[in-house]
Amino acid sequence: MKKMKHWLLLCVVSVVLVLTACSGGDSSSQDESAEANKENPAANRGNEIVIGIPSEPQNWDPIDTFLLDWSTVATSVFEGLIDRDVDLELQPGLAESWEYLDDKTLQFKLRQGVTFHNGEPFNADAVKFTFDRLLGEQGQAGPQYSNYNSIDSVEVNDEYTVTFHLNTVDPVLLTKLASYGAVIVPPQYIQENGEEHFDNNPVGTGPFKMTGYKRDQEIVLEKNEDYWKEGLPKLDKVTFKVIPEASTRLAELQTGTIDIMKRVEVAQVETVNSTNYLNLLEVPTPTAFALRFDTAVKPLDDVRVRQAINYAIDRDALIEEILSGYGVPIATFQSELSFGYNPDLKPYPYDPEKAKQLLEEAGVEEGTTIDVVIPGNDGNFKEITQAVAFYLEQVGIKLNIQTADSTTLNSDLIPNGNAGGMYRQGWGGWTLDFDNTAYLMYHSGEFWNPSFMDEDVERLLEEQRNSVDQEERAAIFTELTEKLYELAPEVNLYAAVDLYAANERVVDFQPPHDDRLRLEEVSVQ
In this structure, the answer to whether residues 492 and 345 fall within a common structural domain is yes
**Confidence bin at 156 (pLDDT 50/70/90):** very high
- Residue 165 DSSP SS3: strand
Task: State the pLDDT at residue 66.
Answer: 76
428 vs 289, residue with greater confidence:
289
Give me the phi and psi of 136, to 5 degrees please: -90, -165
Is 512 within a domain? yes
Is 64 within a domain? no
The range of the structural domain enclosing residue 519 comes to 20-54+206-283+498-524
User: Which residues have a Cβ under 8 Å from the Cβ of 147 and sit 6 or more positions away?
Assistant: 176, 179, 181, 182, 436, 440
Query: What is the reported pTM?
Result: 0.76
Distance CA 302, CA 306 (A): 7
- Residue 10 DSSP SS3: helix
Give me the phi and psi of 158, to 5 degrees please: -160, -175
In this structure, the answer to whether residues 250 and 361 fall within a common structural domain is no
In this structure, the answer to whether residues 308 and 278 fall within a common structural domain is no
- CA distances from residue 75 to 437, 471, 516 in whole angstroms, order as listed: 21, 32, 6
Distance CA 52, CA 40 (A): 17
Q: 32-46, 231-245, 275-289, 482-496: which has the minimum mean pLDDT?
A: 32-46
Strands 260-262 and 327-329, sheet pairing: unpaired
Widest distance between CA atoms in the chain: 71
Look up the CATH number of the domain holding residue 247: 3.40.190.10
- CA distances from residue 232 to 158, 227, 260, 521 in whole angstroms, order as listed: 29, 7, 20, 7
In this structure, the answer to whether residues 349 and 482 fall within a common structural domain is yes
Task: Please name every residue paired with 502 in a beta bridge, in sequence order, or none if there are none.
Answer: 260, 279
In this structure, the answer to whether residues 442 and 510 fall within a common structural domain is no
pLDDT value at 133 more than 60: yes
Overall number of domains in the chain: 3
Least Cα distance to 36 among 255, 266, 264 occurs for: 255
**Confidence bin at 36 (pLDDT 50/70/90):** low
Report the amino acid identity of residue 287.
T
Query: In angstroms, how far is CA 107 from the centroid of its own chain?
Result: 30
Whats the size of the chain, residue-wise? Answer: 525
**Confidence bin at 11 (pLDDT 50/70/90):** low
Look up the CATH number of the domain holding residue 109: 3.90.76.10
Least Cα distance to 510 among 220, 182, 178, 88 occurs for: 88
**Confidence bin at 4 (pLDDT 50/70/90):** very low
Task: State the pLDDT at residue 8.
Answer: 52
334-372 pLDDT, tens digit per residue, is 999 899 999 999 999 999 999 999 999 999 999 999 999
Query: In angstroms, how far is CA 274 from the centroid of its own chain?
Result: 29
Is 300 within a domain? yes
- pLDDT above 90 covers a percentage of the chain that reads 84
pLDDT value at 22 more than 90: no
Mean pLDDT score across all residues of the chain: 92
Preceding omega of 415 cis (within 30 degrees of 0): no
Computed on alpha carbons and rounded to an integer, the radius of gyration of the chain in Å comes to 24
Instruction: Examine the fold and report which residue of 200, 215, 230 is the final residue of a domain before the chain moves on.
Output: 200
Distance CA 330, CA 342 (A): 10
Give me the phi and psi of 341, to 5 degrees please: -65, 135
